[in-house]
Amino acid sequence: MTEPSPAIHVLTGPTAVGKTESALVWAEKHDAEILSCDSVCVYRGMDIGAAKPTTEEQRRIRHHGLDLIEPDARYSISQYVDMARAAIAAAHGRGKRILVTGGSGFYLAAFFGPVTDELEIPQVITDEVRTLQRQGIASLLLRLRELEGPALPEWLDTQNPIRVAKALERRLASGRTLDSLRDEFLTRRGPFAEHTVSFELLERPDEVLKARISARTATMLRTGLLEESERLLALNLDPELTSSRAVGYRAAMDWLRGGKQVAMAGLAERINLDTWALVRKQRKWFRRLGLAKDPE
């Protein structure tokens, strides 16, 4: 008789809500290991701005999904799924439960449905799309509209250059409309469909969350965010990489490039605003995945 796949518990919520400590407490109570679901925590050296679990916190509970690649490398959802499967199997082999925690919507979606297809993208198309990416999202959208028509699907996040680039790659490689590709994609099984997945969504009132964001920004600026950002600048990162666009780091690198002409308080305010924009985006993901209800 085949052994059932191990259960997965997901603990998520918007940034700065308090996931790290809640996850540690849950993992200790349930004899679990923690699998990160954070697209910035995969990068080595991006610790302060990613609010990565500290060395002490990682000693308390074994963590997976941290410090996997250098900031100038690309990391795909397929790589994340492969890593997560291996981590879950390893934890299960040690007799441990697994707790997934983090707030990166695309990674989170992998535990609740399909996130990849089997469409192969020829290198010539990849090269074409990356050339357009370097020219900016307007160039990507112009090329996509040449194929799709002026009205792009409402479900496509046209403000996200990575999502637009991926859509364009698939449109070029398949010759099919985006809606047709999506309809077929939604019939696929998710990579963790054989697992029982439960979830807990952490939330706080807006005014409380904004205060926590502000306090965390101040701590990050005081404890090394600018030094980490200087090291990222030295790598001359591709502007479309997740590491280059990460909240906090992006503002800090812009500030450093600009010769620090804006007061530190202005930098902190921009980081707070960028973080709140991320919170709104995360909450959309939670509703899309059925983890939260639409506001009335």
Q: How high is the pLDDT of residue 1?
A: 46
Distance CA(166)–CA(178), nearest Å, equals: 11
3-state secondary structure of 77: helix
Q: Report pLDDT for 294.
A: 76
pLDDT at 262: 85
Instruction: Let me know: does 217 contact 28? Beta carbons within 8 Å.
Output: no
CATH number given to 206-283? 1.10.287.890
Secondary structure (3-state) at 144 = helix
For the chain, what is the radius of gyration of the CA atoms?
20
Low-confidence ranges of the chain (pLDDT < 70): 1-3, 296
CATH number at 8-115+191-201: 3.40.50.300
Look at residue 293 in the predicted model and tell me its pLDDT.
Answer: 83
3-state secondary structure of 233: helix
pLDDT at 267 (0 to 100): 96
Q: What is the pTM of this model?
A: 0.87
What are the structural domain ranges in the chain? 8-115+191-201, 123-185, 206-283
pLDDT number for residue 296:
58
Number of other CB atoms surrounding residue 28 within 10 Å: 11
Residue among 166, 147, 183, 10 nearest 78 (CA):
166
Do 61 and 33 form a contact (C-beta atoms < 8 A)? yes
DSSP helix/strand/coil, 98: strand
